[in-house]
């Protein structure tokens, strides 16, 4: 089974799957910035076909957001039904997942940690406990953790522009649905749409 660090090394990018550890000197991409395996220096990351590039982009995005293939395909279908650019719609749908929003607000160190918090019933949306990580938040929704005393070092300026954080009360609010310029996930979503259009 591929470890999270091997996933980063295979993609050639920091996927931030381990939160703060990915920013430290211990990060595998800092220590070994080449692909995993017996012959890492001769890997094929830089000589992929067009199909290979599309597949790699899709897999990388799935790994970043922690989504299974069937669920990811569902997001593609939903993105196609929404008016506008399908690629941008896809990124917006992924960003509005509750586990991602919890991570973006700073309530969790990684998306995997955020999924765990949500699954264990430690996150409330508009005052109601939600235990579904894929729950889609909407404009105006208020997100708050159960044990607020754990978030004394929460930073109000750490969240993206489409989210608002009240650091003193440990509460986050969805200001609006994100536009592509407000999403810093390092993926080329157009390649993903091309992959599913084959």
- The answer to the question of residue 172 being in a domain is yes
- The answer to the question of residue 18 being in a domain is no
- The answer to the question of residue 17 being in a domain is no
- The answer to the question of residue 49 being in a domain is no
The Cα 65–Cα 92 span in angstroms is 12
The Cα 159–Cα 36 span in angstroms is 33
CATH of the domain at 161: 3.10.290.10
Q: Is residue 2 predicted with pLDDT exceeding 60?
A: no
The Cα 198–Cα 192 span in angstroms is 10
Domain count, the chain: 1
- The answer to the question of residue 11 being in a domain is no
Q: Is residue 42 predicted with pLDDT exceeding 60?
A: no
The Cα 19–Cα 108 span in angstroms is 8
Return the SS3 of 172. strand
Encode pLDDT of 91-123 as tens digits.
999 999 999 999 999 999 999 999 999 999 999
Q: What is the pTM assigned to this prediction?
A: 0.78
Alpha helix (H) residue ranges in 96-168: 98-105, 111-119
Encode pLDDT of 151-198 as tens digits.
877 877 889 999 999 999 999 999 999 999 999 998 999 999 999 998
Handedness of CA 86, 105, 182, 53 (dihedral sign): negative
- pLDDT value, residue 153: 78
179: which DSSP letter? P
By residue range, what is the domain housing residue 116? 97-176
- The answer to the question of residue 181 being in a domain is no
- The answer to the question of residue 84 being in a domain is no
- The answer to the question of residue 190 being in a domain is no
Candidates 121, 139, 140, 141; CA nearest to 131 is 121
């Amino acid at each position: 089974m591929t470890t999270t660090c091997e996933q980063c090394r295979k993609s050639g990018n920091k996927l931030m799957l381990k939160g703060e550890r990915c920013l430290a000197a211990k990060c595998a991409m800092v220590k070994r910035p080449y692909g995993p395996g017996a012959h890492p220096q001769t890997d094929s990351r830089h000589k992929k076909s067009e199909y290979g590039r599309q597949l790699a982009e899709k897999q990388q995005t799935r790994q970043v957001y922690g989504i299974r293939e069937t669920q990811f395909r569902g997001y593609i279908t939903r993105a196609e039904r929404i008016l506008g650019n399908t690629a941008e719609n896809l990124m917006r749908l992924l960003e509005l997942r509750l586990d991602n929003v919890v991570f973006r607000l700073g309530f969790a160190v990684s998306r995997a940690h955020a999924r765990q918090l949500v699954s264990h019933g430690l996150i409330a949306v508009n005052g109601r406990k939600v235990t579904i990580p894929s729950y889609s938040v909407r404009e105006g929704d208020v997100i708050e953790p159960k044990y607020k005393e754990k978030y004394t070092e929460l930073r109000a300026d750490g969240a993206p522009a489409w989210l608002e954080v009240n650091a003193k009360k440990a509460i986050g609010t969805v200001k609006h649905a994100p536009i592509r310029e407000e999403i810093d996930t390092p993926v080329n979503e157009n390649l993903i749409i091309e992959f599913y259009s084959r």
